[in-house]
Amino acid sequence: MKKLALHWKILIGMALGVVFGVFLSFIPQGSEFIKDYIKPFGTIFINLLKLIAVPLILASLIKGVSDLKDISKLSQMGGRTIITYLITTLTAVTIGLVLVNIIQPGKSITEQTRNELVEAYSTDTQEKQAAAAKQKEAGPLNALVEMVPPNIFSAASNNRNMLQVIFFALFFGIGMILLPPKNTKPVKKFFDSFNAIILKLIDLIMLAAPYGVFALLAALVVEAPSLELFQALALYAVTLLLGLAAMIVVYMIIVRVFTNKKIDFFMKGIAPAQLLAFSTSSSAATLPVTLECVEKNLGVDEEVASFVLPIGATINMDGTSVYQGVAAVFIAQAFGLDLSLSAQLGIVFTATLASIGTAAVPSAGIVMLVIVLAQAGIPEAGLALIFAIDRPLDMCRTIVNVTGDAAVSMIVGKSIGKLK
């Protein structure tokens, strides 16, 4: 008998969680049973995601930056690749923020349900509000000052200081690049192995995802039983899908403008990789097929494809970037928090940097979302609102990630004369 795929298990867990929550809500003491004996497993699952965030950033980002040692030989290609990736990532986050501010899926929740949510997570909300008030009292360059940690161990002990961890990882990786490879070989091997271990830990955590989703949904039903919350989640999903579709359109336009290739040529050429990306939810697992599509179907030189695409699997997560912008503002709206322009610009900056360290594995984006939420002062407990429908949306995000890598490889190939 064929083993059931993880995404189907998660969807089944989600459905069973809703049914179980609805059923027990009609039984005396049923709600208390879920809160006391079911919800803790959902909390444990979220804690596991938060636990892995700092190690994931350190491992994935240091490895990704240190892998750029080839820029010494391919400096022209490397510079254009990184700049193009950063531009598309900024575009993706911006599209997500614009759509979520226009559609406002979290605003559909009534004041009563919002008060219930705030009360359920009152401790976390109060901490974030206090931190936000403290931030307002700081000087205009305080964010820049706080980005540089006085102590990396202290910074790594709190997910709210994730930008400091990112700064250290970038700084550390640059130091590795500037030294001769023979001097950094042992450290490079260590972080390659460290990264592999962290990715395996994420795999193990995701094995518990169906059970975590079951617990989260059951608790969500008994704690906020109003139908409007699920309607808000549906609107959130539509907003995110619109953002992902918009990014696909952006890729079509830039491929047409910068490479003079027809849109149907591009989409047909990358279609096999898109289908695999959808089924695996992993840019890394799709990479061999993406390479083949880009080289054989799209006409990008092997030297360009083999350089641009592996880097893209580490630092170009445009689908994840759209998701982080939409999800962060949606959770803030659900909790009744009004994010200022500066806070949303902070989301753009943080999500862009976080996408650099997002591992190319299923559901790593939700781990990175912890970084964005913490930095923006949004209750991290809000992850419980969106995780239940994250897996099918993650499948769609991976399509955008892979398509973006292919589009950038064509642009870079055209710019250096290595596109047929």
The yes-or-no verdict on residue 152 having pLDDT over 60 is yes
Of the ranges 79-93, 201-215, 376-390, which one carries the lowest mean pLDDT score? 376-390
397 touches 237 (CB < 8 A): no
The yes-or-no verdict on residue 361 having pLDDT over 70 is no
The yes-or-no verdict on residue 139 having pLDDT over 60 is no
Measured CA to CA, the distance from residue 202 to residue 363 in angstroms comes to 9
Measured CA to CA, the distance from residue 324 to residue 165 in angstroms comes to 19
pLDDT, one tens digit per residue, over 260-297 is: 899 999 998 998 888 877 766 767 667 778 888 898 88
Of the ranges 105-109, 117-121, 393-397, which one carries the lowest mean pLDDT score? 117-121
**pLDDT for position 6:** 66
Measured CA to CA, the distance from residue 351 to residue 90 in angstroms comes to 9
Q: How confident is residue 132, by pLDDT bands cut at 50, 70 and 90?
A: very low
Cβ–Cβ contacts within 10 Å for residue 66, how many? 20
Greater confidence (70 vs 292) lies with 292
The yes-or-no verdict on residue 129 having pLDDT over 50 is no
Measured CA to CA, the distance from residue 52 to residue 302 in angstroms comes to 35
**pLDDT for position 254:** 93
**pLDDT for position 285:** 65
* Structure letter (DSSP) for residue 28: T
- Average pLDDT of span 240-256: 95
* Structure letter (DSSP) for residue 67: G
| CATH code, 52 | 1.10.3860
Is 420 inside a domain boundary? no
The yes-or-no verdict on residue 173 having pLDDT over 60 is yes
Mean pLDDT of all residues belonging to the chain: 78
The amino acid at 376: A
**pLDDT for position 267:** 92
**pLDDT for position 142:** 62
Q: Which residues pair with 419 in a beta bridge?
A: 300
Of the ranges 45-49, 185-189, 260-264, 297-301, which one carries the lowest mean pLDDT score? 45-49
Is 210 inside a domain boundary? yes
**Which domain, by its residues, includes 327?**
6-415
The yes-or-no verdict on residue 233 having pLDDT over 60 is yes
Helices 227-259 and 390-415 cross at an angle (nearest 10°) of 10
What values do phi and psi take at 360, rounded to 5? Answer: -85, 55
The amino acid at 324: Q
Q: How confident is residue 329, by pLDDT bands cut at 50, 70 and 90?
A: confident
Greater confidence (401 vs 207) lies with 401
**pLDDT for position 95:** 93
**pLDDT for position 251:** 94
Is 110 inside a domain boundary? yes
Of the ranges 12-16, 249-253, 257-261, which one carries the lowest mean pLDDT score? 12-16
Is 21 inside a domain boundary? yes
Q: How confident is residue 1, by pLDDT bands cut at 50, 70 and 90?
A: very low
Is 1 inside a domain boundary? no
Residue with tokens 């709206």: 333
- Average pLDDT of span 319-342: 83
- Average pLDDT of span 122-149: 57
**In terms of Cα–Cα distance, which of 44, 14, 141, 53 is closest to 373?**
53
Contacts of 75 (CB under 8 A, 6+ apart): none
What values do phi and psi take at 419, rounded to 5? Answer: -125, 125
**pLDDT for position 316:** 77
**In terms of Cα–Cα distance, which of 14, 53, 22 is closest to 225?**
22
Is 296 inside a domain boundary? yes
The domain total for the chain is: 1
Measured CA to CA, the distance from residue 276 to residue 263 in angstroms comes to 20
Of the ranges 100-104, 272-276, 412-416, which one carries the lowest mean pLDDT score? 272-276
The yes-or-no verdict on residue 125 having pLDDT over 50 is no
**In terms of Cα–Cα distance, which of 59, 315, 284, 360 is closest to 193?**
59
**pLDDT for position 138:** 56
Is 271 inside a domain boundary? yes
Is 266 inside a domain boundary? yes
**pLDDT for position 289:** 80
Q: Which residues pair with 300 in a beta bridge?
A: 419
Q: Report which listed range, 50-59, 123-132, 150-159, 359-368, is most confident.
A: 150-159
Q: How confident is residue 404, by pLDDT bands cut at 50, 70 and 90?
A: very high
- Give the helix ranges, DSSP H, for 26-110: 30-33, 39-66, 75-103
